[in-house]
């Protein structure tokens, strides 16, 4: 087990190394002055330029430049945003939790709804329920997310008025940011209106979560159904049935564990697809997350911000992937064999 963890960490290291190389090369690939791209400072007077060139080692070989770049990353100096001239890392720290919150809720919803529906669809694959679930699933992952969001806004927000059409919290309410996660912050804040504010936050959360959760839920249903059907045909299920266990008991004790194992790994893979969907969802719902921030940076040609945003998102995706792989191995005795 330790061996496995070490190997995983080594792989993580190489992947992060490759990522940093890619990010570094973006400084040159983006149009514009490389020094501006790296530092993010708009006005570069000659003296400042000379200082920075020395600090970033731009007059030396690419290797020393890259090492200087790594050094800066390690110390938290990720440059300034070309637009706001604020340190990038602190800007990212403000917007990242919103995305993580939205994405985690969407993943949770997809798990809570996807697994039972998938099992239901697998019990009688040719029956009515199975066919209906199948149809909804295929429709679900064919939906373009931005159109689906617009449709839901038109119906529920503008038409019925049940949910707000954007933002994270109503403008009336002011919650100090402690962790960045809205629901946590509401609990931590000391205001007499906690209930009301909580309800308002949940209403703001509802539509974006539904939109974002559509794709992973349908993929999860499909996946669980396929895994369950495959496991059900196996010999050990027949043995368990012959032992005299009822169908429900066989399902619960033997079927679920074997079918859900590959699902854990799937969740990790879903995360990377989810990030891009989150970007589109944030744009439409004006959700203050890193996706919208990154897209705004792209529109503004804010290259240092793009570089930093790309790195952060990739690190996030890689970390989640690694965590789910470790979790999968932890629960799966067969994988530990390796």
* Two tokens, residue 95: 């917007």
Q: Is 286 in the site for other proteins (CB under 8 A)?
A: no
Residues 129 and 120: their CA atoms lie apart, in Å, by: 8
Q: Is 34 exposed, middle or buried (0-12, 13-18, 19+ CB in 10 A)?
A: middle
Q: Tokens for 118, please give them.
A: 């998938």
Q: Which of residues 234-263 bind other proteins (CB under 8 A)?
A: 234-236, 238-246, 253-254, 257-258, 261
User: 18 to 47, contacts with other proteins by CB under 8 A?
Assistant: 18-19, 26, 29-31
Measured from the CB atom, the residue of 98 and 311 that comes closer to other proteins is 311
Count of C-beta atoms within a 10 Å radius of residue 156? 17
Rg of the chain over CA atoms, in angstroms? Answer: 24
Place of tokens 């990242």: 96
Residue 35 or 317: which CB sits closer to other proteins?
A: 317
From 99, 103, 321, 329, residue interacting with other proteins (rule: CB under 8 A): 321
What is the smallest separation between the CB atom of 300 and other proteins, expressed in angstroms? 11
Listed ranges 7-15, 34-42, 55-63, 205-213: which one lies at the site for other proteins (CB under 8 A): 7-15
CB atoms within 10 A of CB 155: 12
The stretch near other proteins (CB under 8 A) out of 47-55, 64-72, 99-107, 268-276 is 268-276
Question: Mind giving me the DSSP string for 67-105?
Answer: HHHHHHHHTT---B-TTT-SBHHHHHHHHHHHHHHHHHH
Binding residues for other proteins, per CB under 8 A? 11, 14-15, 18-19, 26, 29-31, 135, 138-139, 141-147, 150-151, 154, 158, 234-236, 238-246, 253-254, 257-258, 261, 272-273, 275-276, 279-280, 283, 294-295, 298-299, 306, 310, 313-314, 317-318, 321, 332-334, 337
């Amino acid at each position: 087990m330790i061996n496995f963890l070490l190997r995983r960490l080594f792989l993580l290291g190489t992947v992060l190394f490759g990522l940093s190389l890619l990010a570094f090369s973006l400084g040159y690939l983006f149009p514009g002055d490389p020094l501006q791209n790296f530092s993010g400072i708009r006005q570069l007077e000659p003296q400042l330029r000379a200082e920075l060139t020395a600090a970033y080692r731009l007059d030396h070989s690419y290797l020393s430049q890259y090492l200087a770049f790594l050094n800066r990353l390690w110390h938290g100096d990720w440059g300034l945003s070309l637009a706001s001239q604020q340190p990038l890392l602190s800007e990212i720290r403000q917007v990242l939790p919103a995305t993580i919150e939205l994405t985690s809720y969407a993943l949770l919803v997809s798990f809570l709804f996807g697994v039972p529906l998938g099992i239901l669809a697998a019990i009688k694959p040719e029956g009515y329920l199975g066919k209906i679930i199948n149809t909804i699933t295929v429709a679900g992952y064919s939906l373009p997310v931005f159109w689906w969001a617009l449709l839901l806004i038109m119906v529920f927000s503008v038409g019925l008025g049940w949910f707000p059409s954007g933002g994270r919290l109503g403008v009336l309410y002011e919650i100090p940011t402690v962790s960045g996660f809205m629901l946590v912050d509401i609990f931590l804040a000391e205001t007499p209106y906690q209930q009301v504010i909580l309800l308002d936050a949940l209403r703001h959360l509802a539509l974006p979560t539904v939109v974002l959760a559509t794709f992973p839920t349908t993929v999860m249903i499909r996946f669980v159904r396929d895994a369950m059907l495959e496991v059900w045909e196996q010999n050990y299920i027949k043995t368990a049935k012959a032992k005299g266990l009822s169908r429900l008991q066989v399902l619960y004790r033997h079927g679920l564990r074997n079918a859900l194992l590959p699902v854990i790994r799937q969740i990790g893979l879903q995360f990377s697809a989810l990030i891009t969907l989150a970007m589109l969802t944030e744009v439409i719902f004006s959700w203050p997350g890193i996706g919208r921030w990154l897209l705004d940076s792209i529109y503004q040609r804010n290259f240092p911000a793009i570089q930093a945003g790309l790195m952060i998102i990739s690190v996030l995706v890689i970390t989640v992937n690694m965590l789910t792989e470790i979790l999968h191995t932890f629960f799966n005795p067969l994988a530990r064999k390796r």
